[in-house]
Structure 1
């Protein structure tokens, strides 16, 4: 099955995808982010699992982005992207920087996202590929820096204590 979208249409749709993601990061309006997917979107998130449909993605994205460390991530810019015209996909590396802990330090982790275009400004599939341990390491680094600076919020301290304690045996 071949793709019917032109390179220009894919590039334009991805530029709008990036604007939508940027708007969500700035306003914490996760509904607008989720609404740029088709009703039956397939969202594969390697740590959280596979979600089918917007109404499975919506509570997950809210929960993830409104609790620590997601609520300390300030933006999700693509560092690079590749358009695969034959499949209607964009493959990109997304950065996930956390807010300044108080001394100008930028701490982040990246993931590879593969998004498949469905037409009419909607995306029918997204897969986020990353090593969750790199996100944990970056978040711990952020927590330790914030603790050192006296800016560690309670929710981050609780997260750090839980992660540092490790799994219960």
Structure 2
């Protein structure tokens, strides 16, 4: 519980701002504005990567994740649906993580559930990402195999496949 109650309108507006900033970050590949939406003492729980405390622990993780394959091939992170809990200031949503077109128009993605807690004034004090990492591996392998089939597999994706033991 945050101890604060936010109106639905405030949460919806704040989350729309959050999504707009994340989308802009994905388009420009500048991840700082995304991180700057969190409070200085944000608690970020990422089940595969661990728990980070504070914006300055989150920042290098987001940059590394988003600038390293497969994150570097994810084009956007739109919510497919969202639930707004005014009493706790939480937004629970399912985020899509589509990868760029491998060359034939195919869209390959995986989703995760995120729970973000609003702190007020356009800042978020907690985020928890919940997902099955194997679903992301499976989607990435599917993307790599499609790109390989099309002759568009980049070196960094080929290296990832080798690392995962999936290279042909």
Work out whether the TM-score is over 0.5.
yes
| Cα-to-partner distance string for 1:2-38 (whole Å, 9 max, x where unaligned) | 4321111111000000101100110011000000000
Counterparts of 2:4 and 2:81, CA distance in 1: 22
| Cα-to-partner distance string for 1:31-90 (whole Å, 9 max, x where unaligned) | 000000000000000100000000000000000000100000000000000001111000
For structure 1, list consecutive stretches of 5 or more residues without a partner in the other structure.
none
> Which aligned segments of 4 or more residues in structure 1 are displaced greater than 6 angstroms?
none
Counterparts of 2:62 and 2:105, CA distance in 1: 27
Counterparts of 2:84 and 2:51, CA distance in 1: 24
For structure 2, list consecutive stretches of 5 or more residues without a partner in the other structure.
none
Counterparts of 1:9 and 1:73, CA distance in 2: 29
Counterparts of 1:11 and 1:70, CA distance in 2: 27
| Cα-to-partner distance string for 1:124-158 (whole Å, 9 max, x where unaligned) | 00000000000000000000000000000000000
Counterparts of 1:20 and 1:49, CA distance in 2: 24
Q: Counterparts of 1:83-98 in structure 2 under 5 Å?
A: 83-98=84-99
2:127 is aligned with 1:126: yes
Counterparts of 1:137 and 1:76, CA distance in 2: 18
SS at structure 2 position matched to 1:106: coil
Counterparts of 1:3 and 1:80, CA distance in 2: 23
